[in-house]
Amino acid sequence: MIVRRVTERDREEFIRLSESFYHSSAVLHPVPREYHAALFDEAMRSDAYTEAFLLEEEGRAVGFGVISKTFSREAGGMVLWLEELFLCENCRGRGYGRKFFDFIEKYAREKDFKRIRLEVEPENTRAQALYERLGYQHLPYLQMVKEEGQF
């Protein structure tokens, strides 16, 4: 399996995979197609805030990952947020998730990130088990949001 940054030619494949992810139990609710396209467009525009990656096996997309970048005083520098990691159902349990983390942790070291942060649905125990095996720890924070139109 290889991990590579998405390119313009990957638009439809990325959006298809992204829509599959947002119709899975790994997320709270689906989002409109234009949100998937907006993320893709931002990743193509610049790598300053976000990057998207395809996971491929023998030239076939088997998943994707999306990272966002932010500065954190608490971490003492840049934080890589693993926003999304999705593997096609028939590709799970084959070590692809671990390989993606090998890739993203190497990326974070090379770019001098101070922390990798991710979130996971409480019911997604399989993903949590992988993250814990890889050394990720639970944070004692609760996240809160206020959506557009409410502020």
Per-residue pLDDT tens digits for 90-135 = 888 899 999 999 999 999 999 999 999 999 988 889 999 999 999 9
Do 65 and 53 contact (CB within 8 A), yes or no?
Answer: yes
Per-residue pLDDT tens digits for 48-62 = 999 999 999 999 999
Assign 28 a pLDDT band (cuts: 50, 70, 90): confident
Q: How far is CA 142 from CA 26, 116, 124, 151, in A?
A: 18, 17, 17, 20
* Biggest CA-to-CA distance, the chain: 47
Residue-wise DSSP of 33-94: HHHHHHHHHHHHH-SSSEEEEEEEETTEEEEEEEEEEEEETTTTEEEEEEEEEEE-GGGTTS
Does the domain at 2-133 match CATH 3.40.630.30? Answer given as yes
